[in-house]
Amino acid sequence: MASPRVLLRSTPTSLKPILQLRQLSSSSSSPSPSSTPPPNPKKPLTPQQQLLLSRALRVNQAGELAATLIYTAQTPPLLRREPHLKPLMKHMYDQEASHLQTFNSLIAKHRVRPTALYPLWSVLATGLGWSTAMMGREAAMACTEAVETEIGDHYNGQIRQLLEMVQGWEDEDYDVGEEFKELISTLKRIRDEELEHLDHAVEHDAKKAQPHWLLTGVIRAGCRGAIWVSERV
């Protein structure tokens, strides 16, 4: 069979542009083996990495539940004496409720067992919120300051660990995946909102609570203990 070039030479001049156009179209549509390299594979999680992620989602959900209960208990007694704080309290509660919804979805999606200490944390968080509100605005804000200081540090630690995992995968030419990148982005956003609450608390006289060092010290120690236990139980 004659080659396309021979046919083109023997073809009438009026048909040559049509054949050339067809040849060009056929050439451009044929896939090039080297034009689209295969995507990098995803590296399976090690048991240690799976444990890290499970603990992170479990404790984060427990912490956000506690935060919503603290604000729920604080708001009524606090607003009776400080009604002008209603927009601020609603803003902070709404953000905490959104965080809780996020982690509820994540632990369901990844089949992570919630902490078994839900009933205990619920009672303690409610009691902490109510008691600090009864002590006054400064004590209520000091409570927020203490809690958000520990939570901010906690999220920063998680983010650092996850970024180290990502760096290791990238160094080995593994694909990180959009889902993992989205998780890190979500943690950064939530951390920033928690630190925003810390700023609000300081702006509303958290440092004037008496005795500030004792109140915040006890609450921060309680938060650290709750974080450690909730990761494991």
pLDDT value, residue 34? 53
Confirm or deny that 197 is annotated as ligand binding: yes
In whole angstroms, what separates CA 108 from the centre of its chain?
15
Confirm or deny that 194 is annotated as ligand binding: yes
Separation CA 214–CA 16 (nearest Å): 92
Expressed in angstroms, the distance from the first to the final Cα of the chain is 77
Please give the CATH architecture assigned to the domain spanning 47-232. Up-down Bundle (1.20)
CB 89 within 8 A of CB 144: no
Q: Taking the alpha carbons of 197, 203, 204, 209 in that order, is the dihedral positive or negative?
A: positive
Confirm or deny that 172 is annotated as ligand binding: no
Separation CA 70–CA 64 (nearest Å): 10
Confirm or deny that 178 is annotated as ligand binding: no
Separation CA 105–CA 202 (nearest Å): 32
pLDDT per residue as tens digits for the range 4-57 = 444 444 444 444 444 444 444 444 444 555 566 666 777 677 788 888 899 999
For residue 211, give the DSSP letter: T
pLDDT value, residue 159? 95
Give the helix ranges, DSSP H, for 31-176: 47-81, 86-109, 118-135, 137-171
pTM, whole model, 2 decimals? Answer: 0.79
pLDDT in tens, the chain (233 residues): 444 444 444 444 444 444 444 444 444 444 555 566 666 777 677 788 888 899 999 999 999 999 999 999 999 999 999 999 999 999 999 999 999 999 999 999 999 999 999 999 999 999 999 999 999 999 999 999 999 999 999 999 999 999 998 888 888 878 778 888 899 999 999 999 999 999 999 999 999 999 999 999 999 999 999 999 999 99
Separation CA 130–CA 205 (nearest Å): 18
Within 8 A by CB and 6+ apart from 162, the residues are 180, 183, 184, 187
pLDDT value, residue 38? 64
